[in-house]
Structure 1
Amino acid sequence: MSLTGKLVFQIEIKSNGDVFHELFKNKPYEVSSISPDIVHGCELHHGDWGTVGSIIFWTYTHDGQKKVAKEIIESIDKEKKSVTFKVIEGDLLKLYKSFIITVQVENHGQNNLVIWTLQYEKLNHSVPDPTTIADLATKLTKDIETHHLK
């Protein structure tokens, strides 16, 4: 049984994929007003919004508990419409040695896909795969879609 893993899942959305990508790339601070039950805050701690190397601090609810995560933007791919965040501090690192989140959008006419990739290394074999984080990301995606369809 390996301690490293990769969880990839996709959600079909009807809202504009470019708007979704732009939100995570340049305006992640707006997520807390779009999905306040999940994300309570998003602050820039270093750098500039939408810039590789910038550090973002999130407050959110996961499994019924308020949690925090400090992430560095590792990469932004404008062509692939993806943003990759690496967790550098926070609650996820109590279970995982490393945790990287990539959110990507693929446009297919009116139906677009949001593809989430979670790459992680567990601290030990008793740590579960991050399926509840996948559930949280799915709900967040649906909240963003609903907001953009209004």
Structure 2
Amino acid sequence: MYSLTYSRSKNKLDKHLIIWRKLAQAMMNSSLHGEVEADVEIRAPAKKFFHMFAVRPQDVSKASPETVQGCRVQGGEMGRVGTLITWNYVLDGKPNVAKERIEAVDPKKNMIKLKVIEGDVTEEFKSFLITIQVTPKKEGPGGVVKLKMTYERIDENVAHPETLLQTGIELFKDIDEMLLLEE
């Protein structure tokens, strides 16, 4: 924890102290912000993998039923910014719910951004943004899926979301296997 004290002298504040105070405040706030990411190599076609999240998320539970129990599109149209999706999933053996809003979709880059707006994640995080981007291999099928989670914890006692990241990695492996079986 950072702290800074200063005193007034003749009703004037030293501008250097103000700058240091702002810097200290920014450092305290930045310790709550974070980002975790992972790259997962896949053998399925990159475009098909991207479509699992952008167009057919309801099929994710078919790929990994022990992790994802269901997915409902509640508002909007899949693949469109503003669409609301509710996920029922298991984390550390406990049922969880997350309601997400699609923030960005770029089919050319095989990229989708999802912002968690309600659910269990919001009990520990002020903000939580998930970015999934699939880069195809230069030759042949397959590619690399980048999973990035950008977040702000509610306080320093909340752990960084490594468990969520690991669950995402395992989920991506299950989706890859399902897509390979579909071919």
TM tier relative to shorter chain:
over 0.9
Distance in 1 of aligned mates of 2:157 and 2:94? 20
Task: Kindly indicate which of the two structures has a greater share of residues assigned to helix.
Answer: 2
- Matched with 2:155 is 124
Structure-2 residue corresponding to 1:31: 60
Superimposed CA distance per residue, residues 19-66 of structure 1 (whole angstroms, 9 cap, x where no aligned partner): 000111010011011110111110011111111100001100011100
- Amino acid in the other structure paired with 1:14: R
Report Cα offsets for 1:62-84 as digits up to 9, x if no partner: 11100000000000011211000
Identity percentage of aligned residues = 38
Secondary structure at 1:53's aligned position in 2?
Answer: coil
Q: Is residue 2:105 matched to residue 1:76?
A: yes
Match of 1:148 in 2: 179
Provide the C-alpha distance between the structure 2 equivalents of 1:44 and 1:8, rounded to a whole number of angstroms.
26
Which structure 1 residue ranges, 5 or more long, are not aligned?
none
Tell me the secondary structure at the aligned position of residue 145 of structure 1.
helix
Does 2:180 align with 1:138?
no
| Whole-angstrom distance in 2 between the partners of 1:43 and 1:25 | 13
The whole-number CA distance in structure 2 between the counterparts of 1:125 and 1:100 is 19
Q: Deviations over 1:90-143 (max 9, x none)?
A: 000111011010111000133410000100000000111100001100000000
Asked if 1:67 is matched to 2:96, the reply is yes
How many residues are matched?
A: 150
Structure 1 runs (4+) deviating above 3 angstroms are none
TM-score (ref. length: structure 2): 0.80
Measured in 2, the distance between the counterparts of 1:148 and 1:72 equals 25
Mapped partners of 1:56, 1:6: distance in 2: 22
Cα distance in 2 between the residues matched to 1:29 and 1:121: 28
Q: C-alpha displacement at 1:13, in angstroms?
A: 0.9
Residue 55 of structure 1 aligns with an amino acid whose one-letter code is L
Partner residue, 2:131: 102
Q: What's 1:11 paired with? A: 40
- Kindly name which structure, 1 or 2, has the bigger radius of gyration based on alpha carbons: 2
**TM-score, normalising length: structure 1:** 0.97
2: CA distance between counterparts of 1:94 and 1:26? 28
Q: Which runs of 5+ in 2 are unaligned?
A: 1-27
Corresponding residue for residue 118 of structure 2: 89
Q: If each structure's strand is expressed as a fraction of its own residues, which one has the higher value?
A: 1
3-state SS of 1:8 partner: strand
